[in-house]
Amino acid sequence: MFIASFPAGPWQTNCYVVATAAGAECLVIDPGLGAVAGVQELVAEHHLKPVAVVVTHGHLDHTFSVTPLCAGNDATCWVHSLDRALLGDPYRAMGPDTRALVEQLAGPSVFTEPDAVRELADGSRVEVAGITLDALHAPGHTPGSTMLRTDYPGAEVEAVVFSGDVLFAGSIGRTDLPGGSHLDMLGSLRTKVLPLPDAVAVLPGHGPQTTMAAERTQNPYLQESYLRAPNLDEE
C-alpha cells in the first residue's frame, strides 16, 4: 500500500494520499486549507489519479480544499451524515476569531458541496481505488467525527487508522468548539479507540503518527483515571 502525507495550512493538518501502489487510482483524506498544491505534487510525482476524497470530520482545516479537488478530478466526497452540512457552511462550527483568521488567510470564501457526496455512518465501508476503509463513528470533537480503518498487514502493523481529530499522539481532540461534546468523546474513547488492537498504526489529523500500543500506555486521556473523571460538560 502507498500512503503519503504532508501538513497543510496554518493548522498543519495532515492530508493523506492513499493508493494500492504508485501509478494507481488514489483517495485523498482531509484536504484542508492550502492542500491542493500538495496533493497535486504527490499525484504528479507518483503518477496517481484521485477518484475520491474522504473527510474524518467537517472542520474547515480538514475540508477547505474538498470541493476544488473533487471538481478538478471528477471525484466523490465521503463525509459522515452529521457533518455533511459543514461542507457548505463550515463557519457554523467555529468561533468568530477563527473565521476572521480564515478570511485573512484565504479571503472571503463561498463554500459549496462537491457535485457527488456520499454519506458515512458507523460501520460504513468505502471501497474505492482498490482501498477498503471501514468507518468508525467517534463523535465528541464534532458530531460526525469518524475514524477510518484499513488493513495493512505487515511485520508489526496489522491495520492503519486515520483518526482525524479524535486521537493524537499523547492527546485527543478538543471538545469545546460548537458541536463538540466531552461526554460523547469519553464514549468514543471507551468504545471505539480503546478496543483497537495494539498493532494498529494511528495516523492523526495533526502531529506525528503513533501506535495503539504506545497510546494505550502513554496517553493520559486513555487512562481510567481520566475516563472515569466527572463530566464537567454534562448538563
Q: What is the pLDDT of residues 26-40, one digit of tens each?
A: 999 999 998 999 999
The residue assigned the cell 498487514 is 153
Please check the confidence at residue 82 and state whether its pLDDT lies above 80.
yes
Return the DSSP state at 70: H
**Is 57 part of a structural domain of the chain?**
yes
Domain count, the chain: 1
Least confident of 70-74, 153-157, 221-225: 153-157
| Stretch 207-230: mean pLDDT | 92
Please check the confidence at residue 232 and state whether its pLDDT lies above 50.
no
Residue pair 45/38 in contact by the 8 Å Cβ criterion? no
Confidence band for 69, pLDDT divided at 50, 70 and 90: very high
**Is 11 part of a structural domain of the chain?**
yes
Cβ-Cβ contacts under 8 Å for 97 (sequence gap 6 or more)? none
Return the DSSP state at 189: I
Q: Please compute, for residue 173, the number of CA atoms within 13 A of its CA located in the half-sphere on the CB side.
A: 33
Q: How far apart are alpha carbons 81 and 53 in whole angstroms?
A: 15
**Is 234 part of a structural domain of the chain?**
no
Return the DSSP state at 206: B
**Is 198 part of a structural domain of the chain?**
yes
Residue count of the chain: 235
* pLDDT at residue number 235: 35
pTM exceeds cut of 0.85: yes
* pLDDT at residue number 231: 53
**Is 111 part of a structural domain of the chain?**
yes
Say which CATH number the domain at 146 has.
Answer: 3.60.15.10
Confidence band for 234, pLDDT divided at 50, 70 and 90: very low
CB atoms within 10 A of CB 5: 17
Cell of 214: 504506545
> What is the extent of the structural domain holding 55?
2-227
* pLDDT at residue number 46: 97
**Is 36 part of a structural domain of the chain?**
yes
| Stretch 148-164: mean pLDDT | 92
Least confident of 17-21, 97-101, 159-163: 97-101
**Is 154 part of a structural domain of the chain?**
yes
**Is 232 part of a structural domain of the chain?**
no
* pLDDT at residue number 229: 61
User: What one-letter code names the amino acid at 9?
Assistant: G
